[in-house]
Amino acid sequence: MLINNIINHTKNIVEHKKWVFHYACKAGIPIQGLTHDLSKFSPTEFIEAIQYYKEGISPLKESKRVNGYSLAKLHHCHHNKHHYEYWQDEFDKGGKPLIMPFNYALELICDYLAAGRIYFKDDFSYKVEYKWFLEHKYNNKSIAMHPLILEFLKEMFSLMAEYNSSKILTDHHFVKRLYVSITTNISKKGLT
């Protein structure tokens, strides 16, 4: 069983990285796509992931379910800038989400799309991905992502769902303008 978990988890990592690279190339961030999630091969993350590996379920979520926490998840989020959990401050005051830089917000989109390709498999579509995003991230009142980054991601996934395509990622100028217009419009939206 251990050997199967190692093989299957490694396949999932490689497949996930392949899809992230695919989307990152479209988004104009190929180096980030190439180096995406290298920490998954670190002992902290890899050992826990194979220990809690189950087909179709994130091993880190399974570890959290069993133990109440995941050391691999903590390690992963604090070593990878495309995770919104990395962009937190003022922990002594309960935490404050920060606005993620553009290139990491873009990598997060690629990450979510790639994860959708892995977990939804043949049922993947940009409409399904948008629905997942709305249910699990956007409408989650306790999520610690900056609201303006949530808004940027929602707009991007909405456009992909509308056209059932990731082609929007290739319009680099439009995507950057969208990010800037949302994240610099703080006073109008009443968000800080």
The pLDDT score that the predictor gives to residue 161 is 97
Q: Does the pTM exceed 0.75?
A: yes
Tell me the CA distances in angstroms from 7 to 18, 46, 71, 166, one per residue in order: 16, 12, 21, 30
The pLDDT score that the predictor gives to residue 186 is 58
Closest CA to 66 of 54, 82, 84: 54
d(CA 75, CA 135): 26
pLDDT in 10s for each residue of the chain, 192 residues: 789 999 999 999 999 999 999 999 999 999 999 999 999 999 999 999 999 998 878 898 899 999 999 999 999 999 999 999 999 999 899 889 999 999 999 999 999 999 999 888 889 999 999 999 999 999 988 899 999 999 999 999 999 999 999 999 999 999 999 999 999 975 455 554
Token pair belonging to 65: 């379910």
Answer yes or no: are the C-beta atoms of 181 and 156 closer than 8 Å: no
For 159, phi then psi, to 5°, come to: -65, -40
Domain borders along the chain are: 2-37+80-189
Q: How far does the chain reach from its first CA to its final CA, in angstroms?
A: 49
d(CA 96, CA 76): 19
The pLDDT score that the predictor gives to residue 17 is 97
